[in-house]
Structure 1
């Protein structure tokens, strides 16, 4: 039986709560407009219960008219009131229902569709770059890759931290939140089909463990890893890293080169 992979995610173009709020304000505005139309022409309405149309009756009739076809207890009796209902209230009713249906689609059906779309993207990943760890080094490297011409669709980020995952989505990368040393997550990002992997987990032991897991699954993968402790550089190489970078050593070498006499 095929194992279900952890889902990828990408940045949403707009906040769903912001869009929901805008739709609620639009629906409220349409309801207020419908109420004002009926209140101004309330003399064209007739209450079959007591004959008088009050503020509460108008508000009730507005909600009933907008949400249903009415119960017949309050009805338009003049030609003007019926024209208002036909040409003004009916479009408002339709717009409100479209807002409701659109919101349901946005909150329910679109999420399902997005999951299906990301699953297809996940299955089709090939020749991509996997960044494990989206801290300072990982995020800077990812931004440099994108600035150098790497398409955002070819960038996949794994990180345990929600804030880091949000930052990666903002760059347009596909993101999985979790432990990059787990085979399940590495398989989810199709590590065997990746072009290269960049590991910067923040801790040498974690980065080395990720390199071991990745090398086990993808023997030919080019793996670059950042190591903080010089003593762990040989261990990282033995763990399968193709390139070991120690930021402290690199910085020291650049500084020394810059101070060398001409």
Structure 2
């Protein structure tokens, strides 16, 4: 079956997507022209200092043309000396001038050459250093989170998972927009510019080694294709997908998604709840905002809690995860808690909430 818009997506990829590029976050954000201007300023300062030193002791120098050294001759001598040209028409003749050349002008010459050569070498080795950084990043990347789409939903999802302790270097953003990836790298995330429906793009994001994949594309048909590709590359990753229309959720499930969040219907239900009870709407908004007020947290059962009923717990237990079933706290099938169970609880958002062992937040809309 051919999905709606699949041909358009393929044509767009063939026409506009020529290369795939991985961008790593930079610690130093300085414009190249600014760096060159700064180094040129230092080089000119070295030149001026050298000319002033020569002119201050111009009696110790001789010029083959007229015998005397003026200010112009001093700048001329500084230029040919620092550039190691050395025509020999102006030479130091006094002991003081020769000592100055040895202990002052020679170090300035070395500094001048370092500035010029350093700028050239940096330009020539930039690509090599980027390749080295990229290879080191790939070799160290394991059990990371891949986020497809850096729009409003994608950014909110990243903020939520990072609020629970996930490091920024464990997040890789995939988006076809170069500007979106630049925004992601500015926030400290690695980024891949490209169409995530293509397996080679997801491979560049190391999706086959990812622990979880969040798909937050703008179109539902694109989300289906990305889910199919991601599941083919990684059978064990947890894939969470956001779609606009609820009727597309079963198709995403069949494509390999572990959880499907219907953004349009979820927002509509929250609106309806807020109309019926503004206070209840505020509580729900608080629950889906990680790190403030109340948080929904999934955590394992500890040994001291085995055999207890969910109502006997200190935490406010909402549901019990037993195997692949989600049981309500008042479900008779729950009985006593088992060591293999996991609890979905409502807790007060504090720093301690995010450091509990093996605890993680629930997927947000």
Q: Same fold (TM over 0.5)?
A: yes
Q: Is the 8 A contact 2:52 2:74 kept in 1?
A: no
After TM superposition, the runs of 4+ consecutive aligned structure 1 residues lying more than 6 A away are: none
Pair 1:64 & 2:80 matched: yes
Deviation, structure 1 residue 224: 1.1
For residues 83 and 147 of structure 1, what CA distance do their matches in structure 2 show? Answer: 63
Match of 1:13 in 2: 27
Taking structure 1 as reference, are residues 13 and 102 closer, same or farther at Cα in structure 2, changes over 3 Å only? Answer: farther
Q: Is the 8 A contact 2:245 2:265 kept in 1?
A: no
| CA-based RMSD | 2.2
Deviation, structure 1 residue 7: 5.5
Residue segments in structure 2 that go unaligned for 5+ positions in a row: 1-18, 281-365
Deviation, structure 1 residue 165: 0.8
Tell me whether 171-180 or 105-114 shows the greater mean CA deviation: 105-114
**SS at the partner of 1:46?**
strand
For residues 246 and 23 of structure 1, what CA distance do their matches in structure 2 show? Answer: 54
Q: Give the TM-score taking structure 1 as reference length.
A: 0.88
**SS at the partner of 2:23?**
coil
> Which residue of 87, 90, 99 maps to 2:115?
99
Higher relative contact order (CA 8 A, sep 6+): 1
Deviation, structure 1 residue 16: 5.1
Match of 2:101 in 1: 85
Tell me whether 196-205 or 246-255 shows the greater mean CA deviation: 246-255
Match of 1:160 in 2: 176
- Which one has the bigger strand percentage? 2
For residues 148 and 137 of structure 2, what CA distance do their matches in structure 1 show? Answer: 19
> Which residue of 92, 95, 111 maps to 1:76?
92
Report Cα offsets for 1:183-202 as digits up to 9, x if no partner. 11112222121001111121
Tell me whether 252-261 or 56-65 shows the greater mean CA deviation: 252-261
Deviation, structure 1 residue 73: 1.4
Q: Is the 8 A contact 1:125 1:189 kept in 2?
A: no
User: Size of the alignment, in residue pairs?
Assistant: 258
- Which one has the bigger helix percentage? 1
The structure number with the bigger radius of gyration is: 2
